[in-house]
Chain A
C-alpha cells in the first residue's frame, strides 16, 4: 500500500507561504503548518496595543492562513535560539538589522528538526525566486537548502519549475507539473491565485513580517546594544522596543513613555521590573526607566514625563516615582517646554 506522504509547511501568515502549502495539499499530501515566533514578528494585535488602533483586526495571520487552507498550525517559540541569528548573522544584515538569509536557513533547519521528530517527509516554503533582495534570489535558494540540511527535501512550490527537481518530485510524491514557475517581485500572479482559491482577506504587511526590517525599530535596538555595551537582548527588551515613545536624555538611562491608554495598560505590567513615573496631578502617560538612573536625574525625567502629560502648560505637575521595591516618592516639577526636549534624545 502506498504510504501517505506528509509535509511540514512554513507558514508566515503572508500570502506566498499560504499558496505554497495549498499547492502541495491539493496534491493529496498531508500538510501541517509550522510558524516560528522569534519575538520580532509583526502582528496586527501587537500594534493594536495602541488604543487608537483598537479597530484593527486582531488576528494572527498564520492561524488565519492555516484555517483557510484547512491544516493544523504549530506555533513554536524560538526566542533564545534566534538570538544568535540576530546578533551574529553569518551572511550579514539587509537594509536594517534583518538577517534574512540566516533567518530563512534557521527556520528551515528548525522545520527539518520538527520533520524528523514527527516522521514527516519533506518541507514546503513560500519562497519565490527574486521576490526579496537578500534571501529570495536564485543564488541563495541552494544556500538555504544546503546550510539548513534540508537539501532536496525542501520544496518551493511557487518557483519549483525554475529550480532543480527535489526528492518529492523525483519520487513522485508530488507532481512537478502542478507546481508553479513564479519569479520576480510582482505580486500579480499570487494575487490571481489567491482569488482563484477564494482567499480574499489575506495579509499584505507593507514592511514585511519582521520588526528587524523596520528602520526605527533597528535604530532602537542598536541604541540598546550601545548603551549596554553588549550586543545582547532579553525578550522583554525587544517587546518594549515596539511600544511607546523612547527617549534617551542621558547615556545611562532611557525613558519609555506610553502614548495612549492601551500602551499605559501594557507598560503597567512591567512596573515590578522598572522604576516607573506617572503624573498624579494631571492625566498623563506611564513611563518606565530602562538603565541605571541616578537620584539627581529624577527631576529631569519627571519634567519630561510632565511635558507629555495634560499638565504640559501648567506651572507644576506632580509626578509619582515608584521603584521596583514598591518604595514611592513624589516630585512637584515644571514641565519641559517642547524646545527643551532635545531632538537627539528621541530614538
Chain B
C-alpha cells in the first residue's frame, strides 16, 4: 500500500497532502497516512466523508497514527 508521511505536520497540512495525493489515485486504490497530529483522527475521516472516500482502518500507536484510506470514486 502507498504511504503518505505527514509526521510532524499540523492539521490541516496532512489533509492537504492527502487531498493532493488522492488526485493521482483511482477508485479502490488505498493509501496509508502516517501522522503525529491527533487532529487527523477527526479531520481525515471528515474530509473522506465529504468527498466520498472511505477510512478503512485507524491505528493509534504511541508515537504516531496510521489511517488507511480507500479512494471512493466520487470525484472521478
Q: Residues on A close to B: CB < 8 A?
A: 35, 37, 41, 43-46, 48-49, 54, 57-60, 62-64, 66-67, 71-77, 239, 265-266, 269-270
CA distance A74 to B75 in the complex (A): 12
Q: Please tell me if the beta carbons of A269 and B7 are within 8 angstroms of each other in the complex.
A: yes
The contact of A45 among B7, B11, B19, B49, by CB within 8 Å, is B11
CA distance A58 to B51 in the complex (A): 20
CA distance A59 to B8 in the complex (A): 17
Interface size on B, residues (CB 8 A): 21
Q: Please tell me if the beta carbons of B46 and A59 are within 8 angstroms of each other in the complex.
A: yes
Most chain B CB inside 10 Å of its own CB: which residue of A63, A67, A73 = A63
Chain B interface mostly helix, strand, loop or mixed?
helix
| Known contacts A45-B10, A269-B7; A60 and B38 CB within 8 A of each other | no
Q: Considering only CB atoms, which chain B residue lies closest to A70 in the complex?
A: B50
Which residues of chain A are near B16, meaning CB under 8 Å?
A: 37, 75-77
Q: Please tell me if the beta carbons of B50 and A48 are within 8 angstroms of each other in the complex.
A: no
Q: Please tell me if the beta carbons of A60 and B39 are within 8 angstroms of each other in the complex.
A: yes
The 10 closest A-B pairs by CB, nearest first: A45-B39, A269-B8, A63-B46, A59-B42, A60-B43, A58-B39, A77-B16, A75-B12, A58-B42, A75-B16
Q: B22-34 toward A: CB 8 Å interface, digit per residue (1/0)? A: 0000000000000
A45-B10, A60-B12 known, 8 other contacts, Cβ within 8 Å: A37-B16, A45-B39, A57-B42, A58-B42, A63-B47, A72-B51, A74-B19, A265-B36
CA distance A88 to B11 in the complex (A): 27
Q: Please tell me if the beta carbons of A43 and B46 are within 8 angstroms of each other in the complex.
A: no
Q: Please tell me if the beta carbons of A45 and B38 are within 8 angstroms of each other in the complex.
A: yes
Which residues of chain A are near B37, meaning CB under 8 Å?
A: 45, 49
CA distance A224 to B46 in the complex (A): 36
A339 to chain B, nearest CB (A): 36
The contact of A64 among B7, B38, B41, B46, by CB within 8 Å, is B46
CA distance A66 to B7 in the complex (A): 26
Q: Considering only CB atoms, which chain A residue lies closest to B19 in the complex?
A: A75
| Known contacts A59-B42, A75-B19; A46 and B11 CB within 8 A of each other | yes
**Interface assignment of B13: CB less than 8 Å from any CB of chain A:** yes
CA distance A48 to B12 in the complex (A): 13
Which residues of chain A are near B7, meaning CB under 8 Å?
A: 269
**Interface assignment of B15: CB less than 8 Å from any CB of chain A:** yes
